Structure 1
């Protein structure tokens, strides 16, 4: 699965500093928010907002024609929702890491994917859920063989691949732009892996870093 995921060269041409740490978690035991994941959210809600990292994503949105004041990058939207919302344990885990590091993170159910995930510039005719709307030509989207899985890089995910309380196999996309360093990206991935392992001691986690030229 990890070896099949790719980022199109046109995305790197837009932002050569882009990198994504892809993590898969097999054998996850998810469930409703509990005291442990509630504590993660509370701690993250006390984090200082790192505006430089968020501003980098706003600039990336403008580069492909999106208006970040109308459709905000995920981490920008999340930091405006303090205290952080309770969703489920796995989502609480990655949302807490996202806010702590000002790092957009997407989490999705691998069993609902059709073919590999890939990050591309949209043609504009991709299949998309009605609630998500149709991507515009040139828009950066995550997609699989069935169509769009996330619009505007990390703005909004489809319901089809959403992480639910019954999810057992998941994929997490940790997306970096400068000024975040690759070392901090790696640290964020390790922290997320630790939280997922707390939830599910038997979980099997694998990761792969995708960046320009590699």
Structure 2
């Protein structure tokens, strides 16, 4: 599945330094936050990068490059490092949020049971559906023309590169098979990106011993 994931050349032209480590994880047994994942979050908070770290600033620059205002819609890692310790969601989300703040690295998680077709990072046409919840009710929004978005065959799965995920593919306590997207810009090195992936795999194996994990680096259009 991860072999088909691609980045549109229009995105690579915007930020030639962009790379994403994609991880397919199969057979997870997720569950609610517990003392173990709470400790992961607390330890990560102690070691977290600041909002002024060059790795976080790189994402604000990337947002400005496609017309977004990062003070209004913050890159995911920027928003997360401003909330210490990170919020408790569930075991798997706690695991990747801990890795995210420790490395200054945006990480997205997608439930493959609700994914349709191939994941790809593109510049939006503006008419793609983005499924959200407004005032407790399902609703459909749309990205702006030229916005950088992750999408599948059904619609946008994450707006503004990594700002907000759609409701449909978010990871829940019932998620068994997932796709993780670890997104890198300079000055983060590819070696640190790979190290973060290894750390995430270790936490996922702590949650589910024997879980199957495959990964691939995608760094060009």
Q: TM-score range by the shorter chain?
A: over 0.9
Which residue in the other structure is 1:169 paired with?
A: 177
TM value normalised by structure 2: 0.94
Match of 1:118 among 114, 117, 120: 120
Counterpart in 1 of 2:65?
63
Alignment of 1:75-154 (within 5 A): 75-131=77-133, 133-154=141-162
CA shift for structure 1 position 86: 0.4
Shift in Å, 1:3: 1.1
SS in 2 for 1:98: helix
1:24 alignment partner, SS class: strand
Match of 2:136 in 1: none
1:187 aligns with 2:195: yes
Whole-Å separation in 2 of the counterparts to 1:3 and 1:185: 18
- Structure 1: where are the runs of 5+ without partners? none
In structure 2, the gaps of 5 or more residues are 134-139
Q: TM-score with structure 1 length normalisation?
A: 0.97
Cα RMSD after superposing both structures: 1.0
Using the TM superposition, give the Cα deviation of residue 130 of structure 1 relative to its aligned residue in structure 2, in angstroms. Answer: 4.5
What SS does the aligned partner of 2:122 have? strand
Q: Which residue in the other structure is 1:72 paired with?
A: 74
Q: Does 2:49 correspond to 1:49?
A: yes
Bigger mean CA offset, 108-117 vs 125-134: 125-134
SS of 1:55's equivalent?
helix
Does the Cα contact within 8 Å between 2:127 and 2:142 map onto a contact in 1?
A: yes
Q: 2: CA distance between counterparts of 1:133 and 1:68?
A: 19
- Count the aligned residue pairs: 213
- Residues 41 and 86 in structure 2, CA contact (< 8 A), matched pair in contact too: yes
Q: In the alignment, which residue of structure 2 is the partner of 1:23?
A: 23
Which residue of structure 1 aligns with residue 137 of structure 2? none
